[in-house]
Structure 1
Amino acid sequence: MLHLEHLSLNIPDTNKPRVVIIGGGFGAVNLTKDLPDKDFQVVMLSKLNYYGFWPLLYQVATAGLEPESIAEPVRKIFDDRKDFHFRFVRVTNIDPAAKTVTTLIGSIRYDYLVIATGTTSNYFGNQQIKQHAFGLKTLDDAVNLRSQLLQSFEQASMTRDPETRQALLNIVIAGAGPTGVELAGSLAEMRRHILPRDYPGLDFKQMNIYLVDGLDRVLPPLSPESSKNTHEYLEELGVIIKLNKLVDSYDGHTVKFKDGEQIRSQTMVWAAGVAGAIIEGLPAEVVERGRYLVNTFNQVQGYEDIFAIGDVAVMKTDKWPKGHPQVAQPALQQGAHLGKNLVRQLRNQAWQPFSYFDKGSLAIVGRARAVADLPGNKTLRGFIAWVAWLFVHVYYLIGFRSKLIVLANWVYRLFTYQRGARIIVRPLIKEEDKMGEVFVRQPAN
């Protein structure tokens, strides 16, 4: 077995400016693409060895897509670059005085440091929910949730106790933003078209999908019109929507709300909030609500050589006083823009401030059910919005293989209503009871 003391980052020396990027998501990948290999050495440090297209995680969780179809190995994306170096490590500290980044296996010096760590789930300090709820931020989360759902259906088909069966068939989704809405819609379509075929002995009229949010409408980031249309779509699909409702606790068996209501459920999905993935080392005053304060060049407040992009950055402008939305487009645009500014720096040219172009927002609820907010206060709904959603998501996938696989899967599902990834792959936790060996819930964390 290899020990940490036997490992090192092993990055070659260079005379070129070294750009160290922490993270491997939308912003990090777009930034790297805009840094010429002949001019910069790029070192990317990430806890994941793949670039994931996170807007489609819910489809992995509901067996619509295989995990590999929405992910691409980082090394493969940049296999034509000679001075790009990827390391599969976790960063533990930043030392701005020494201009170094520390990982579990050593440190590395930078000329420019870019923090592109994205977000983590925000449980608002509730450790019980963090321990027992299922997140949906990575491929691991999606596969784990998929297995949890399928195991619940398997166990429901075997149990003789009506209360236990109902708890297994109750699914609670906390958070009615895009992730929660799309997950709820996908589960509702599974309930209607897929699960009755797989489990003919179960009455899926008893399966309840609860979508809960503390605000007064679903999809708060979108326009009131799109929110209203989405609400109608979800109700058509039989999703139970509970607004102005706050989750108080969840012990893995019962969801308790602030108003005293309780729902027995073996599966609660937490999609109620995110926080920036902050790294130790920079002073507290450069962080606001879990995001690094940056100027219009994405420089972290007080530093000329440290940048933050994407979800982990907050750039306040007159139009965006609370910062840009924590979605893919700001990260993609900031990554590309910062790359161009670093090239300008190399050529002694003036930097250009970042200006976000809002291309609009899309959310899908189910087959031919989608909403879109477009520039100019225009909105779309129904089949046209659904087609737009399909086109945009295929377009932004990286790699011809991923585009082809996802498109083929969607066409297959369009005509057959089938989903082919209904497999349980996680290790099972077992316990003995009077009925013998049975499957039980596996905590998310």
Structure 2
Amino acid sequence: MKQNQMLNGIDDHTCKVTEVICLPNSRLPRVVIVGGGFAGLALVEGLKNKDVQVVLIDRNNFHQFQPLFYQVATSGLEPDSIVFPFRKQIKGYKNVSFRLAEVKEIQASTNTVITDKGKLTYDYLVLATGTKTNFFGMEEVERNSLGMKDIRDSLNIRHMMLQNLEQAAITCDDEERDALTNFVIVGGGPAGVEMAGALAEFCKYILPKDYPEYPSSIMNIYLVEAMDELLVAMSDKASSKTLTYLENLNVKVLLKESVSNYDGRIVQTKSGKTILAKNLIWTAGVKGDFPKGIDERHVVKGNRLKTDAYLKVDGQENIYAIGDIAALISEETPKGHPQVAQAAIQQGKYLACTLMGIINDKPIGLFSYKDKGSLATVGKRKAVADLGKLKFAGYFAWLLWSVVHLLSISGFRNKLLVGFNWAVSYFSYEKSNRVIIRNFKLNTTAKTQTKDNSENHLEKDVNTKKSSIDV
């Protein structure tokens, strides 16, 4: 392939929103990576200091460790302990540049991406944009619930929880107090299960200390799952053990139930059940999130991009997809690979080798996914593990979960902060400072605006935000 000959030099003037994004001069082939999640960062690591120019583009200037979003949401961790600046990550990588921008459109005919800051050309484009929350067309549910796909979403949930608990202490209306202290989590996958367990432990250990005026039974937690078991991607043993753990924590698990509507106060299920609650957290589904410019013929179920065995998007010469957005459809994987971190990381590492092989005219192999197992935690000393034929639960599963996640966090400082917080929590059940620094916002993903709810001090935000549950 013809190498990129467009040289975007940097002069003494400050770069502004211009027609072309400024980049260092280079005659090397240019690989543009859109998205700095697990897949995108794995690709950057594989291409660092190689004979290729790498440009990482992301709407944030930091990587987010999504598996621990729920701990930020429940005041278990502070947000800065699970985010890591891209520029610090790529420090010393001579061939890698980061640009803070959001890609709006791909113009494949001219090898160009259009961003909100300008445009740039590529020789190879890699989409690693991940997913956002899928509300399955239920606009009222979308307007009145909160997703958990971004660190801002986690903080939003934390503020919702703390504000509503404070409001419950003020009101003299028993029904209103019940609505403010009832929490509904929709989706029985890892994100929903872990959130339910963390909320239950907050209710058991933190609520009596911070809110002694409340009776112990005031905070009710509901977990709603449409299937007949939790953690459907894991073993039956893991599912049943998880159900037992949650029920022992007084979580009300509703299986074979799906939410049909939510107006901000009443949750309605398809079977006719209703739950009074002003707190609904949606973790029930995701769909691909990518810029316009890809032919719809190459988009499959879940709004994912269909790829070949080299992770190249169908119908494209030099556009690739990795991570949650990619769907490699085959006899072995008729639905594509699982949307989990280990698959994303393996795809990023593979594509780094593949691109260098293509550039250097060397043989390349097909992508092969190796499942290393699955882990999920329900609370302190409670977790489930599926490691091939080895399936176990309890303290050792929780210990393994803790070690794996701690080692996966970017940055020594972040590892230290998370480890210290976990150690303190292990011995004291104490969590981080539970402070309210801003009013929470509904409607962070909805396209229309809802009526003001002054009792909850809601702020309105009609900007579309990205949210999902990749774990």
Q: TM-score, normalised by structure 1?
A: 0.95
1:10-409 → structure 2 map (5 Å cutoff): 10-289=22-301, 290-375=303-388, 377-409=389-421
Residue 166 to residue 206, structure 1, CA distance change in 2 (3 Å): same
CA distance in 2 between partners of 1:95 and 1:6 (Å): 18
**Aligned equivalents of 1:3, 1:152: Cα separation in 2:** 44
Determine what percentage of the aligned residue pairs are the same residue.
Answer: 42
TM-aligned CA distance change 1:219 to 1:442, over 3 Å: farther
Q: Give the conservation status (yes or no) of the 8 Å contact 1:91–1:102.
A: yes
How far has the Cα of 1:203 moved from its partner? Answer: 1.4
1:88-138 C-alpha deviation (Å, 9 max, x unpaired): 111110011111111112111100000000010001111111111100000
Contact residue 133 and residue 444 of structure 1 kept, 8 A: no
Q: Give how far 1:36 is off.
A: 3.5
Q: What amino acid sits opposite 1:303 in the alignment?
A: Q
Distance, in Å, in 2 between the alignment partners of 1:218 and 1:78 is: 39
- Say whether 1:426 aligns with 2:426: no
- Tell me the residue number matched to 2:444: none
* Cα offset, 1:230, TM superposition: 0.3
CA contact (8 A) 1:148 1:442 kept: no
CA RMSD across the alignment:
1.7
Letter aligned with residue 61 of structure 1: A
Distance 1:77 1:178, change over 3 A: same
CA offset digits 1:51-85 (Å, max 9, x no partner): 11100000000000000101101111001123322
Q: CA separation in 1, counterparts of 2:330 and 2:40?
A: 23
SS at match of 1:157: helix
What's the secondary structure of 2:28's corresponding residue? coil
Task: Give the corresponding residue for 2:11.
Answer: none
Aligned mates of 2:439, 2:283 — CA distance in 1: 24
How far apart are 1:300 and its partner, in Å?
A: 0.4
3-state DSSP class of the match of 2:217? helix
CA change 1:283–1:27 in 2 (3 A) is: same
CA 1:438–1:254: 2 relative to 1, 3 Å: closer
The SS at the match of 2:110 is coil
State whether residues 307 and 321 of structure 2, in contact with CA within 8 Å, keep that contact through their aligned partners in structure 1: yes
Unaligned segments of structure 2, at least 5 residues: 1-13, 442-453, 463-471
Cα pair distance change 1:164/1:343, threshold 3 Å: same
The equivalent of 2:466 in structure 1 is: none
Paired residue type of 1:333? Q
Give the count of matched residue pairs: 436
Report the CA distance shift for 1:303/1:3 in structure 2 as closer, same or farther (over 3 A).
Answer: closer
**Is the 1:144–1:444 contact (alpha carbons within 8 Å) kept by the matching residues of 2?**
no
